[in-house]
A and B are shown apart, each in its own frame.
Chain A
Amino acid sequence: MAILLQDLRYALRTLAKSPGFTAVAIATLALGIGANTAIFSLVDRVLLRPLPYPDPEMLATMPRNVSLPDLLDLKASTHAFEAMGGIVPQPLDLTGGGQPLQVSAGLVAEDFFEALGARAALGRPLTRRDDQYGGERVVAVRHGFWVREWGADPSLVGRTITLGGLPYTVVGVLREDFATPQDSADVFVPLRVAYPVAARERGVHFLRTVFRMRSGVTLAAARAELDAACRRLAALHPEENAGTSSELMPLLDRVVGSSRLPLAILSAAVALVLLIACANLANLLLARAASRRGEMAIRTALGAGRGRLVRQVLTESLLLSLAGGAAGLFLAGWGTELMLQRLPETLPRLDGVGIDLRVASFTGIVSLATGLVFGLLPAWRASRTGFAEALASSRGVAGPEPRRLRGMLVIAEIALALMLLVGAGLLVNALWRLQAVPPGFDPVGVVTARIDLPESRYEEALAQTAFRRQVLEHLNSVAGVQAAMISEIPLGGNSLHHNFLIEGGVPIPPGEEPSLYSRSVMGDYFRTMRIALRAGRDFMAQDREGAPLVGILNESMVREYFRGRDPIGARIRWAREEGVPRWIEIVGVAADVNHFGLGEGEQPAVYTPYAQSRQAWKRWMDLVVRAPRGTPGLVALVRQKVWAVDPLIPVPKARSMEEVVATSLARTRFQARLLTAFGAAALLLSSIGIYGVMAGSVRRRTTEIGVRMALGAAPSRVIAEVLSEGLRLTAAGVGLGLLAALASSRALSSLLFGVRSTDPATYAVVAVLLSAVALLACYFPARRAASVDPMAALRME
């Protein structure tokens, strides 16, 4: 122990004596380890941590949503599960306090809380007994929401709050650590009490399921049983369930599913940065080992065994890596903050992302491993010093540097940096192309706000239509303002589809009808959004309740279902509608918009007037309000006009359509930015690497350069020689990197748009950029070589 402390003391002193080397090594490692720590904090929280419920491995779900009748049938016909429940996320208005507030509600069915093992901090959670048609209106509140809205007042339990215009009795506050698996909710109400109409419908597949498997039941066994039950269900109810799959999956997989690939790519990218940093560290240590050959020879002469020498040098590299880790942890704290501000909202489980003990332990392990693995080779080389040779070196002749090894490390660094830069380049390229995609509407100057009408006061379609009409009238009466509404704005992340039939088409069995997306509009929607009309006419004032039903198709619908035929005048209707068929006459064709995402194209869709809708459950709408740029207080104006019609309707934060477009690109932008940052770090590190090797080479060749200059070599020739040595290393690294990038960039394919993973232009630009930076890094040692004073250089010898 005393000897270890002695090694530590000497190592500290040795490092303190070379502040330049120490600072560069620590900064290099801090960059590599810090970036890894920041990404690990994200990956750990999102992917690695188990779900925050008891026995989370027993929780499963289905990849698709189901209806409540289906859930009940599945429950009755399976035995693998001890609890089965579901949740529907839906906004609800909370009124009775100050301003009306829109809150995220979870409409929970059956044993939702029991399956998750949720407990209450106060009162109780909801149970199956609460979820009954005509049951008592009860609500459980999320802990954070209780603290925020009611200042953690324990007397809330037992009191009545108004949700959706109806009184609900608070029966409990959930524990602080409870969170829903997806889509956080502030309040929970029983589905059959809050939304009985939809709960009864077998065709309304809106429940996100949560199943808890019985102890001892495997996922495979539960899956087999559920599969059989689903097949029976499809046979019994083909109209609602034909062609639906029923794969059972771990709940965690559904929660994090789509985040795996992007996070895996980011983890790989950041690991490359660390590898480059480690190669740099190894390079620095090798150079240092070469300069310490004399010291090692003396230690050997004084009786140090090889193990002792290795330990001494390793102690230094470990100290460096731990200091780098500590600095990296600090950098990661800052980087994580920065990252959190830019994370796309679509990434799940972001609560609590940050530096904690687990993340710090990860940093510690990575630091130790880095110091050990990459310090070992230099330590071993340092300990291998030949005595006589080292004595010669101590007489002033520099010990030979391991040129080949250092060259190989630099080649590897350049290759890794190129791989990363190609990845970043491809994503940036894809982002540019996505940003250049015309969305199909003009988002500039448009503000949008989502409004949900409470069922209690707007149960009937007529009341809803009256509200909508009044709001639009109020808004359109303001000079310069154009207002309209649609049930789901483009790029807003929402959509609703229906099965349909075309008049005169071939008969189609129930359950196999084609589907299209249905969007309800009111007001001058297409003009407000500047969506071009390709044929026919726009909706008019007379297309209202009681008038013949009309619809406007989008171009995708016409392409897919009216090939070569004029759709104007054709009629479609919803499949399996009860009663007399209600035919919708097509009066126009609107241009496609990118509804689901820029670059994702459009799906067949129909626009119909809100006023002609009998879908009274569709109580939501997105207001779109266009005003000349710079119109002050547009958001306040929207709120004021809505409240002029109904002061109890919450108007949550309005967003500009440009913001909506930007948000739809958030994930790609985030990935591109992060990969670019890592690419820049890789570029910086590899240029430091090549600079170090070239500087070492020039130092080693000072005498030779002196002789050459004494023999008449011009400085330009010396510069050219040094640059050509650097160029050889760079070319080898770039060549290797191009091959590696070609092989690895395929993993990015699914994240790209409009650019192939083998895009030659991206590869060429990255190769040129990297070569230019590498040559610049070589230029400084080359200039130093050219300024060697031949006489001084020869005197050194």
Chain B
Amino acid sequence: MIELTNVEKAFATRAGQTFVLRRISLKIDEGEFVTVMGPSGAGKSTLLSILGMLDHAWEGEYRLLDHEVHRLKPKERIELNKKYVGFVFQQYHLLDNLTVAENLDIPLSYRNVKGSERAATVADTLDRFQIVGKKDLFPSQLSGGQQQLVGVARALIAKPKLLLADEPTGNLHSDQGREIMRLFKKLNEEGTTIVQVTHSEENASYGNRIVKLRDGWILGEESLAVRTAGPTPERVTP
């Protein structure tokens, strides 16, 4: 599904170029649940934004399904993003001025979905995530876990093939975090490809592969045995 070849990103500074990502080559198959780990400044979030086609200033090759992203113009990349990608953030990033239902509606409206269709999709999603009772509340009226639930629902409402999550449980109580991770697992089992960035070994254990980054380089990968649930993974070194 995803193939990165020698992807590099650098900033020009007075001292010369400062690399954020170096020669990243990575393959992710459809249906995988990949975790990107590494210390702060390793380039994890940058990699995520390149995968999500929100960062256009990089070099190398990036293929998504049958699209050669590196050959596309920024506007075309945004279109691909709309078609295939959903985002979940550590800070939930719900729009404060919008109600739960309106937050769910926004990605559809950006995709020019017709009003009646949008209303039906929003109603379905509210139902699916069991947040119908909260549809008219504003984000500030929800708990952290509830906000992240809405964040995930919003990321999925446009039925993306690829879900990108940046520290999705970083701000949550551990029980709430586990619930979100179980939800991710379930979505992955239903066919959504997921790439998450996390510091948490426990969260990583829900996925089937870990990509380790440091100083912009890929240090190595670990495959995890497929499990249906549970916090202690069995590591398999490739």
Contact = CB atoms under 8 A, between A and B. Distances in A.
A199 B97 CA distance: 79
B158 A303 contact: yes
Prevailing SS type, chain A contact patch? helix
A535 B55 CA distance: 95
Contacts of B166: 391
A388 B87 contact: no
A388 B95 contact: no
A391 B89 contact: yes
Interface in B93-131: 93, 95-98, 102, 106-107, 109-112, 115
Contacts of B93: 294, 298, 301, 394
Nearest to B78: A305
B91 A10 contact: no
A304 B110 contact: yes
B46 A302 contact: no
B185 interface: no
Interface in A258-306: 294-295, 297-305
B78 A302 contact: no
Contact of B107 (A294, A295, A303, A387): A303
A3 interface: yes
Nearest to A386: B55
Interface residues of B, number: 30
A787 interface: no
A304 B109 CA distance: 9
B25 interface: no
Contact of B115 (A2, A10, A388, A395): A2
B82 interface: yes
B54 interface: yes
A14 interface: yes
Given A13-B97, A14-B97, A301-B54, A3 B109 contact: yes
Nearest to B49: A387
A302 B87 contact: yes
Contact of A6 (B82, B89, B109): B109
A17 interface: yes
Contacts, number: 66
Nearest to A12: B97
B209 interface: no
B49 A302 contact: no
Q: How large is the interface on A (under 10, 10 to 19, 20 to 34, 35 or more residues)?
A: 20 to 34
A302 B97 contact: no
Contacts of A394: 89, 91, 93
Nearest to B45: A388
Contacts of B45: 388, 391
Contacts of B158: 303
B89 A298 contact: yes
Interface in A383-411: 386-388, 391, 394-395
Q: Which of B81, B96, B98, B109 has the most CB of A within 10 A?
A: B109
A517 to B, nearest CB: 74
Contacts of A299: 95, 106, 110
A300 B93 CA distance: 12
B81 A303 contact: yes
Contacts of A305: 75, 78, 110
Contact of A387 (B55, B106, B154): B55
Contacts of B207: none
B98 A10 contact: yes
A574 to B, nearest CB: 85
A704 to B, nearest CB: 20
A305 B107 CA distance: 11
Given A3-B109, A303-B158, A295 B55 contact: no
Nearest to A395: B91
A388 B82 CA distance: 18
Q: Which 6 A-B pairs have the closest CB atoms?
A: A387-B54, A303-B110, A303-B82, A301-B87, A298-B93, A302-B107
Given A10-B97, A300-B78, A394-B89, 7 more contacts: A3-B109, A17-B97, A298-B93, A301-B93, A387-B52, A387-B54, A395-B90
28 contacts: A2-B115, A3-B109, A10-B98, A10-B102, A17-B97, A295-B95, A295-B96, A298-B95, A299-B110, A300-B54, A300-B78, A301-B52, A301-B54, A301-B89, A301-B93, A302-B87, A302-B106, A303-B78, A303-B81, A303-B82, A303-B107, A304-B110, A387-B49, A387-B54, A388-B49, A391-B89, A394-B89, A395-B90
Interface of B: 45-46, 49, 52, 54-55, 75, 78, 81-82, 87, 89-91, 93, 95-98, 102, 106-107, 109-112, 115, 154, 158, 166
